[in-house]
Chain A
């Protein structure tokens, strides 16, 4: 469970202070998923970084399972916008990195890792370096890395944005399967309404200018079978798109 109350983040430079997000309230129930959607520069990455404990100075509270966020105490699986794989480590070492840092050798079970890599279709790539992988393969490695840790929360910043449409849908399915097995509370950022509808139990729409949440939509379609083929899915994504456009256009006009 993640609960965020009145969260604000200011970026301070030598000359001025910039408020990236302000007054954010959110809760994600244990084992739930939340999609965060919003225009470029509205503070999506900032929100995620704050939850990941990467921004030491913020106002408000961020609690994970009841405790203030602390990377040393909780296990936070964070996947940055460009996957954050280490170019000087092989695929297998990249996957093991989290356990090494968490000093959690009990997670280093070869069989479990192997199974995870097989599920992700990267079992033959263990000894390659990230530069020798396609974008989709790097993505899979990054997923393996966070899931191998069995994190308390999973935070993903535009996880599938760099992939082509078909690979993206494939990866979304892979993610859903892993998520169902592991049931980890997840927040992910996206700028595709379809992705938000497919993977998010709830969808938080950030506003374009003020750095807070415009509204939160419950997603009745989440978890259904083959919902992408469903006419309701199509209808809902259209409706959502139009209302987001309206919100954001209004914001620009003000």
Chain B
């Protein structure tokens, strides 16, 4: 039997008695692109951080290729799934490293390439994302926030992950850059068989990149299905969430 790439079962997570996530169940298959939508504070980032092993769920299990993800509670310094890449909502670039050093970090320390090869991979990755060479040796604090975001994406792609999680990748990007990003996510999923989970607030981009969409509301998974079914949903919270987009198009 073939296992799903990612399977989440009965996930529950709370911080100091406030329940953030409850009864979360879903599967993502190889080469599939899942988009998670939901209002601010609905627990999207917490959910994806549980999947990479940065947060330990209180209850429930996460399986990657059928293997249960073990998260050491006292120290979560070793992330179990090193075939997963993660693009943080706030980019999280290393302040003390230049753009190229940020991007070659993963190839060098995660994939154990030597410094020269890692640099070569970083250059390729930067070219792929149209990062102009004049930025290559700058530091994150010198970049605009949208460029930081693109560098963070380049850093995540440079390790050639099997699974990649984007936490609001297009927030703060201009329309052209965000279209290009949607295209890039689509292409990576299709051509390189990457499994992607993308968090977004933008329904149009969700419809474009998703094979399936899941909606979180106050820590519960209230809807999931095909992109084409989203607009037909009769769930009141889903309708409320997508209404602004229906009227604008």
Bound together: no
